[in-house]
Structures are given as C-alpha cells and as structure tokens.
Structure 1
C-alpha cells in the first residue's frame, strides 16, 4: 500500500508540474509589457522674426496730389502711412465696374484731372486680398478677378462724397466705389491740409503714352552703411525641412553648401549671403488664382517669421506662379547687381512652396551705422537725360523713381546703401529696373525680366 500511495502522489505532482508549465508558457507567450506612450513630436515651431500683416507688406510707394495749379507728391514712407491710416477708416461702398477696356490714354486723362490724388503700387494687387486693408462694406466678387496697381481718389470740392477708382493697367480695367460724406470732411481736414505742403512734382514727356511724374527739385536722401549681419541658415533649415535631424550636408564648393533630405534641397551661398530652397515634387504648372497666390506666399513666410527686414510685395506672375517681395530701406526700394540679392522670390507649387529664394543677411539697425545726407538731381534732370540718350527708348520707360543701390563690401563686412535714380523699362513680355548712370545709360537690368 505504501508504494502504491507514493506512486499516486508522484503522478499528481507530475500533473501539477505539467499544468504549471503550460500556464507559465501561455503567460510568456501572451505577456505584453506596459510601456509609456511615446507621443509623436510636431514639426519644430521656428519663428525667425515677427509675422507681418497684409497692410505692412502691400503698400503704395508713391502718392501724387493734383491740386488746381500744381502737382504735389512724396515717396516718404511715414507720410504715405499717415494717408493710408486715414483711408482705411473710410467706409467704402457701391463697388462697380466702369470700363473693361481701360487704355493708357484713358488712364492718363483720368490722372490729369484736378482735385484728385493717386496711390502708386509696384505690383498688381487683388482686391479680395486688399479688402482686409480697406473697409469695404460689401463682399468683393471673386469672379471676375478685380485687381489694381493704381488707386485714384476724386475729392471734388463741389461734391459731398468722394469717388474712389481702382485701375489695373495689366488687365485694362477700371472699377469705382464711394466713400461717405463724413469721410470726405475728415479727409479735407487732415490729408489735404498736409498734402499742400508736399514737394512739388511735374509731369515729364506729356506727349507719351504713360504719365510719369517726378520731383521738380533735387531730392535729399540719406546714404547708409550697415555692419554686416545675418540670420544663421540653420534657422531656415529647421523651419523648412520637416525633420532637421534627417538633413544631410555637403560642401560642394568654397563657401557653397547643400542641404538635402529625401524630399527637399537647399543651396546656400555664403559669399552672397543667400539661399535657394526647392521641393521638386510640389511643382505645378497650372495658372494660379492671383488672390490665393499672394495670400499663400505671404502666409508661407509668416509661418516661419521670415520677414527679417522690411520687405514689400512688388511683383506677381500667376502663369509662372511667382511672387516677389523686395527689400526696402526707409520706404525706398533696394536694388543690387548679380553679386547679391535684395528679393524674396517664391514659386508656389501644389498646395505648398515649390521654390524659395532669398537673402539671409540682416540690416541691423540696432548696431552702430553710418548715415550721411546726399542730394540727387531733380527728376526732371533725369528724365531729360533719358530723353536725350540714344541708348534708351524713352517710350518704353514706365516709371522714374528714387531708390537705393546696395553694395556688399566683403572685406569690410558691411552693406552700403547708395541713393540713386532708377527707371523701369516695360516691353511686351518683360519689365526691368535700371539704375540711372550718366556713364552707363541702358546698362545691366537689375530687376525683373
């Protein structure tokens, strides 16, 4: 009996061990450790500089008032800002089409009428974008597209309200709107009083197809020298690439670097202090809607705070999906030669940026800088020299305006802003800004082609 009992106990123990082994094996197979949840990190939120509002980027570069007996105008940024502050308070209504085939002669006639003033813009501005600036109390139609590069205001003293005209020279369209009588009274008290003290302007080449008005007397402009500053390209790398840690760097030449990942490419030129960024798969050849194109390109730069200096909208081409923003200093445009760049150039692709070219230097106003007053010849003198020149067809000149020519002194590591006169040559399919130089009339274009 004793041996039989022992065998029974052994069998029971064996069964228990087998069962325990099965339980342990099952537990091992089905065991899942308790890991802490790993959250997916969002893209780096890089703010290089402050964001800009539309009215800070889309500005008139000149205004001219046609009084009874004299033209008065200015390119002074502060004065124009004060005028715009008044205009943005107006309640604009009754927007309607006037002429869908508005010729250059029609515009010249409109501009020459007395008791009117004109705001000049560098590029075509879609009204559906600018209605964020103007107080238009009715929806602006999306189709047809309404755009302008001139705003003309008629303040006829005999009337009780003001007529506002939106002129698009590119599309040959004229739209009108009205401001309220109380806006007219405020305008008389503030803007017109100030405008009568502005510099005297005069029309040049009255027989030409384009009305060009310039200062009658020499123009005083400050010459600046800035110590070279820059925004590190690594900040733009972190803002533009989805995963900066995956970016590969290679030195392709002296002072030239390329950054790449599986989707994008950035070429950095350390001599010219500029870079070119491209996202090839985003390329798109469809005609862009102007209002969307301008808004998208502004919002793109705002996303990473890319307005490192004062840049303004100057050019748009919906066919090539291109928008340009030019550097301005004290309200005047900055031009340069091929040794540098003073523009942010964007080509918009399929719902995102396709190409992005820009400088990364800084004009640091907080650092010591040199300022010297200089006098430019009158606009009349420049126009006469251009008319007399055999190297320039004056009929192709669309504008004459002051600005800055930027020189980059790499040895002294500074930027020199030289005041100069510039003239815009427009042909059928191209336009380009040229610096006026008596020794080099008709020289190298420094703007758009």
Structure 2
C-alpha cells in the first residue's frame, strides 16, 4: 500500500512539473509597466575615480637660484608637464640623511624644485604614480615633500621628507640629468615671482590674476540617498525633521540631512568583524564606497590621513579647474555652504562614517571673469594679522563658495593651512 502511495505522489509531481513547463513556454507574459510617477531613480550620479588620479602635489615650488622662486598649481600646463616627466623617472637606493639648518637654507639658493603634498603620502602609494622603489626604506614612511636640486658640483640631489618624524631620505640612484632640472626651472621663467620670509611658505611679490566662476549645480535627493545607503529602504523612517534638519534611520544606520548647510552625514554603528587590512586596502575600499554611493564631481586630492584607535580617516579635497591649462583651486567651505570635501571613516576595513555635500557642481560654467588676488606688502600685512593667533605653514589660493540666484559663485581668496592641518581663509 505504501509503495502505491509513493508512486501516486511521484506521478502527481511529474504531472505538475510538466504543466508548469507548458505554462512557461506557451503562456503570454503579463507586462505591467511601472508607474513612472512612482519610479525613483536610485542611482547617485557621479564619475568613478581611482587612487592614481588622487595622488598629486598640492603645488610645486620652482627655485631659480639666488633665492628667487615661483609656484605652479594643479592643472596649470607647466605643473602638468613637470609632474608627468617626474613620474616617468626612477628613484631608487634610499638612505637616511640628516640636514643641518644651514643646509636647509642653502638648498633654496640652488636651482631645483619642490613637490609638496597635501598630507603625508605613504611612500608605497607614490609607487602607484611615480617610479619609486622604496625597498630600502619602511614602506609606511609618509612623504610630505620631494625636493630635487642641482648642487654646486653640478650633481642631482633628491630628498624625500617625512615631516611627521622630521626624517629625510635621499634617493641616491635617480634617472634625472642636470638638463632636466634646468628645463623644469625654465618653465617658470615668465611666471610671477615669489619670496619667503621664514623658509616655510612662499608669497607672490605682486598681485595674481585668477578666475572667478559662476556654476550651475544639482542636488542629491533624499529618496536617492535612502535607496542607495540603506540595506532595505522600506524599513527606514524619519525620526527628526525640524529647521532644515532631517534624520532618517532603520534602527541601525543613521542618515542626517542638513538643508541649511546642504550637507549629509551617514553613520553605520554596527561593529565590524575583526579583520586585518593595511592602509592601501582601506583607501581603495573608501574610494570604492564613494564610487558606489554618489561618485565624484570634479577632481579630488587625498588631503588628510589619520589613524586613531583602530579607526582610519580619509579626507578627499575637491578641486575645480576653471579651464584647460588654468590652475585648479580647492574649494573651502563658507559660513553658509559646506562644500569642497568628502570624508570617510573606517573600522577594520569597513566604512562606518560618510560625510559629504549634497551639492553637485555641474560641468557647465555659466560665467567666467578675471579676479585679482593681492600680493606683495598688502598680502603680508594680512598674513601678519593672522599669525598673531595661528601657526601658519602654508599660504595658497582657494575658492570660496556662495549661493547666487540658483547658481554657485566660486570666488578666489587667499587661504592658510595651520600646523595641525586646519584650513581657513584670509579675510580682510
């Protein structure tokens, strides 16, 4: 009797299987198009990026000799030409060296160039962009500056500075000739002249001609962010909504939107599983996360790297190019508009915090106009006023963003960098 029941069940299963196959093959599909009014585009548009394009000097100092100098910035033709050629040269056989204060002063009197990075760049990262063989030094050494110059004996000397430890490493085998350095320095022959009073930063002798921009923009929408950042958007709900501030959560992940500052903060408090990851792995993961959740508008430079209590923090500084071969400037936040950088915090290789502007500058420049930044004595007086309270290590031009009738104005200003990595604007 049991065998007959089993045979009957098997027969029924075979029958239903054949019936379902028939329906799949011969029945007409029932197409029910999505109501376009209810459809939400969950893509967060923005270009994809990789680490190679995010490692470049914040500026270069060209030394003519006799304590005469000039500076070039990203996207400027001479900057691009020099960096491309430097990136194709080899730097090998490093040794630790000690420089006396007298030597450091004398170096500025020789023909040469400095490549200064926004923050300490691990030497292994430079290997992704330059032909650096760091086998002879610790691969975790962070490089703030590369200084190449021609000595009195017409020899090339190349120094890599780790300012966090005050260590200096010399590449004793370099694929550069004296003629190369002379060519690089010659690029700056007709550029504005700069001087230094303290050997730390340089200021122009005269005013500089810059470019002021008016740009259109788009904005990330709440539904896009929720759909992209929450595992199940249907479980999310708004818990606070007042005075331009909105907090959305699914009970774990928290997304805060600040309409006043046009800023978003994402926080995932789930404790990541203990795992090992090195600095480069964390950087690649951070970049990939942004690629998948908003992307990048304009060029970004790795500006800040810090590691505290198993947390890894990265800040990516946004640059705007006014036109081809015109120097690109970083955007610094204003009092009314947080714009200009993307922050990522990680634990054990997992992104826990993601902060960025809701504003996306478009590729359309509505208006360009010339803008003059003061130099010389007027700039030095302004700097001295700030130096009464701050330890300034760098002076540079930057864009100050302002809302203007549906557009954003980017106005050139002189900015400062402090010894602790803080940025600010030199306001009159």
TM-score normalised per structure 2:
0.80
Unaligned segments of structure 2, at least 5 residues: 22-40, 322-327
**1:11-50 pair list within 5 angstroms:** 19=1, 23-24=4-5, 27-28=8-9, 34=17, 48-50=45-47
**1:416-435 pair list within 5 angstroms:** 416-426=409-419, 430-435=420-425
Distance apart, 1:311 and its partner CA: 2.1
Deviation sequence 1:272-292 (CA, Å, 0-9, x none): 322111110147999996545
Give 1:114's aligned residue. Answer: 110
Unaligned segments of structure 1, at least 5 residues: 1-18, 37-43, 439-449
Structure 2 distance, partners of 1:140, 1:260, is: 49
Contact 1:45 1:304 in 2 (8 A): no
Give 2:301's aligned residue. Answer: 312
Structure 2 distance, partners of 1:302, 1:264, is: 19
**1:47-446 pair list within 5 angstroms:** 48-69=45-66, 70-75=68-73, 77-78=75-76, 79-99=78-98, 105=101, 108-109=104-105, 111-137=107-133, 139=135, 143=138, 145-156=140-151, 158-159=153-154, 162-178=156-172, 180=174, 183-184=176-177, 187-188=180-181, 190-204=183-197, 206=198, 211-244=200-233, 246-248=235-237, 252-261=241-250, 263-282=252-271, 290-304=279-293, 306-319=295-308, 321-330=312-321, 331-342=328-339, 343-366=341-364, 368-378=365-375, 380-387=377-384, 389=385, 392-393=387-388, 396-409=391-404, 412-426=405-419, 430-438=420-428
Report SS of the residue matched to 1:192.
helix
Structure 1 distance, partners of 2:132, 2:313, is: 28
Distance apart, 1:140 and its partner CA: 6.7
Structure 2 distance, partners of 1:82, 1:23, is: 86
Structure 1 distance, partners of 2:166, 2:108, is: 18
Q: Structure 1 residues 188, 45: CA separation in 2 closer, same or farther (over 3 Å shift)? A: farther
- The alignment yields a C-alpha RMSD, in angstroms, of 3.4
Report SS of the residue matched to 1:382.
helix
Q: How many residues align?
A: 394
Structure 1 distance, partners of 2:369, 2:211, is: 5
Structure 1 distance, partners of 2:241, 2:316, is: 29
Contact 2:400 2:412 in 1 (8 A): yes
Contact 1:229 1:361 in 2 (8 A): yes
Contact 1:225 1:415 in 2 (8 A): yes
Structure 2 distance, partners of 1:201, 1:192, is: 14
Contact 2:277 2:348 in 1 (8 A): no
Report SS of the residue matched to 2:140.
coil
Structure 1 distance, partners of 2:333, 2:130, is: 33
Which structure has the greater CA radius of gyration? 1
Q: Structure 1 residues 178, 146: CA separation in 2 closer, same or farther (over 3 Å shift)? A: same
Contact 2:276 2:348 in 1 (8 A): no
